Amino acid sequence: MKYLDEFNDPQLARRLLDEIRATVTRPWALMEVCGGQTHSIIRHGIDQLLPEEVELIHGPGCPVCVTPLECIDKALEIAARPDVIFCSFGDMLRVPGTDRDLFRVKGAGGDVRVVYSPLDALQLARRHPDRQVVFFAIGFETTAPANAMAVHQAKRLGLANFTLLVSHVRVPPAIEAIMTAPACRVQGFLAAGHVCSVMGMAEYPELAERHRVPVVVTGFEPLDILEGIRRTVGQLERGEHRVENAYARAVRADGNPAAIRMIEEVFEVTDRNWRGIGRIPGSGWRLSEAYRDFDAEHRFDVTGIRTEEPAECRAGEVLQGLIKPTDCAAFGTTCTPRTPLGATMVSSEGACAAYYLYRRMSEPALPREEMNPVG
C-alpha cells in the first residue's frame, strides 16, 4: 500500500471487522493511547462498528490536554511580560489556565505568536536580540527531537535570549500508571505509532509481560486502527500478551537512533504532573544540566502560582478513560470549543473535541447494522 486512500478502503474495513467478529468470544476493553487515534476512531465511527464485546477506552494521549495547569499558568505569566516574545503551536492558545488563556494574553497586548516549529522561534530570537523569545515545548516523545535540536542549535549559536518552557511527557510511564490504578479496566493497548517511530519499542515488552496485556503498535488511518484491534483481540483470545508492530511502514524496533541521541543529550528524565491525572514518576523530560541556561523556568522567576480547576469539569476522568465525554454534564452545554472548561475540549487531539466536532453528542448513535465502515 502506497497511497492514503488504500488505508480507507471500505471493503478491506469490512473484512477486518468480519475477522474481529469471528474471533471475539467475550468482552474485551482496549485503550488507544493517542489522541490522534481517538479522533480517527470517532470520525469514522469505528467504535460503533465493532462487535459489542469490544470496547474502546480513550487514553491520555493528548499532550496539550495533560500539560499541567501550573505550567499553563506559568506560560501565561511569562507571555504577559513586555520583554518577551512567547511562541507556541496554535492548539495551545485556547487551552484554559486558571483565569485566562494565551488568546486573552495576546488580546491584552502580550506578544504571543503561533509558530510551526521550534526552529521558527529560534529564528525570531536571532532577529530580535533585544527580546526574550520563549518557546512552549510540550508533547510526547514525537515532538522532543525537534525541541532538543532547537536548544542544541541555540547553544551552538550562543543565543542568550532563547529559552524553552518544557512540559514533555513520556508514554510508557503513563501506561504503567494506568495499569496500576485501582479502577483500571484496560486489557490491551493500541500504542501510538508516531511515538514508537521515534523511540522504538524497547520499553514495551516489560510492560506487556508485567501486566499481562498485549501492546500493538498502531497507525492512525481506519485500516491501521482496525488491524491493531484485530491483532490485540486475537492475542487476548489466545491468552497472549506480546508486543506487535502493526505499523511497520513507519516504525522500526529501534526507532530513530539519531533522534534518540539528540533527546538524551539535551533532556533528562524527571517526574511530571499530568493535568487531571496527577504526578507520574519518570514520566517527563526536562532540560539537562548542560542546557539549564535555556530553561524558561530557571530564567524567569515565576512564583506564587495558585491553580484552580473548574469544579464541573471532568476532563481528568476522560483522560484516565474512566468516563466518555458524553458522561460529563458540562459537555456541549457550558463546555464548548468557544467556552472550554478543560483542555480536552480545545485540543486538536482531545477526546471531548473529537466528540463535539463529529457531533457525537450522546451514546449510542446509529444502530451498528445501519452504519457503513469508513465511508
What pLDDT shows up at residue 370?
46
Find the range with the poorest average confidence among 119-128, 257-266, 303-312, 324-333: 303-312
The DSSP-derived string for 66-89 is: HS-HHHHHHHHHHHTSTTEEEEE-
For position 367, what pLDDT does the model report? 46
Q: Across residues 46-66, what is the average pLDDT?
A: 94
DSSP-derived secondary structure for 190-242: EEEHHHHHHH-STTHHHHHHHHT--EEEE-SSHHHHHHHHHHHHHHHHHT---
Of 121-135, 170-184, 216-230, 293-307, the one with minimum mean pLDDT is 293-307
Would the pLDDT of 242 be above 50? yes
At 40, the amino acid letter reads S
Judge contact between 215 and 39, C-beta under 8 A: no
Say if residue 165's pLDDT is above 50: yes
Q: What is the pLDDT of residue 374?
A: 56
pLDDT in tens, 78-97: 999 999 999 999 989 999 99
Q: What percent of the chain has pLDDT over 70?
A: 95
The arithmetic mean of pLDDT across residues 36-54, rounded, is: 96
Stretch 269-292: mean pLDDT, rounded? 94
Average predicted confidence (pLDDT) for the chain:
92
- The tens digit of pLDDT for each residue in 179-217 reads 999 989 999 999 999 999 999 999 999 999 999 999 999
How much is the pLDDT for 75? 96
Other Cβ atoms within 10 Å of 329 Cβ, number: 11
Q: Which residue in the block uniquely carries the three cell numbers 470517532?
A: 42
pLDDT at 371 over 90: no
pLDDT mean over 144-150: 97
Query: Average of pLDDT values for 320-328?
Result: 93
Q: Helix, strand, or coil here: 177? A: helix
| pLDDT value of position 305 | 74
* pLDDT at res. 361: 86
The x, y and z cell numbers of residue 247, run together, are 505499523
Taking the model in full, what pTM does it have?
0.91
Does residue 237 register a pLDDT over 70?
Answer: yes
